[in-house]
C-alpha cells in the first residue's frame, strides 16, 4: 500500500502502530521489503450450516444462491 510505504519512510510507524495490522507491523519491524505489504488483505470468513433434508439439486442451488445474496448483498 502506498500509504504504508510513505508512513514507514517518514518514520511515523511508532505513532501509527495501534492503527496498523499485526502483519504490517511485523513486516516493518523485520525490515522486509515494503512491496510485500501490497499483497496483505483483511478478510472476513463466515461459515453457515444449511440443513435441508431431502431436496432436489435445483432447489438446493436456489437455496444456496438466496443464502449468499442475503449474507453478501
Domain span at 32 = 2-39
Identify whether 21 is part of a domain.
yes
Identify whether 17 is part of a domain.
yes
Range in 7-16, 22-31, 32-41, 54-63 the model is least confident about: 7-16
Identify whether 66 is part of a domain.
no
| pTM, full prediction | 0.38
* pLDDT at position 1: 60
Identify whether 47 is part of a domain.
no
Q: What's the structural domain count of the chain? A: 1
Residue 16, Cα to own-chain centre: how many angstroms? 20
Identify whether 31 is part of a domain.
yes
* pLDDT at position 32: 80
Is residue 13 over pLDDT 80? no
DSSP tag of 10: T
CA distance 53 to 60: 10
Radius of gyration of the chain (CA): 21
Identify whether 28 is part of a domain.
yes
- Output the nine-digit C-alpha cell for 46: 463466515
Identify whether 34 is part of a domain.
yes
Amino acid at each position: 500500500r502506498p500509504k504504508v510505504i510513505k508512513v514507514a519512510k517518514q518514520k511515523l510507524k511508532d505513532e501509527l502502530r495501534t492503527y496498523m495490522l499485526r502483519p504490517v507491523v511485523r513486516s516493518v519491524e523485520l525490515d522486509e521489503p515494503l512491496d510485500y505489504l501490497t499483497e496483505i488483505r483483511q478478510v472476513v470468513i463466515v461459515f453457515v450450516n444449511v440443513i435441508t433434508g431431502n431436496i432436489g439439486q435445483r432447489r438446493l442451488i436456489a437455496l444456496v444462491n438466496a443464502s449468499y445474496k442475503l449474507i453478501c448483498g
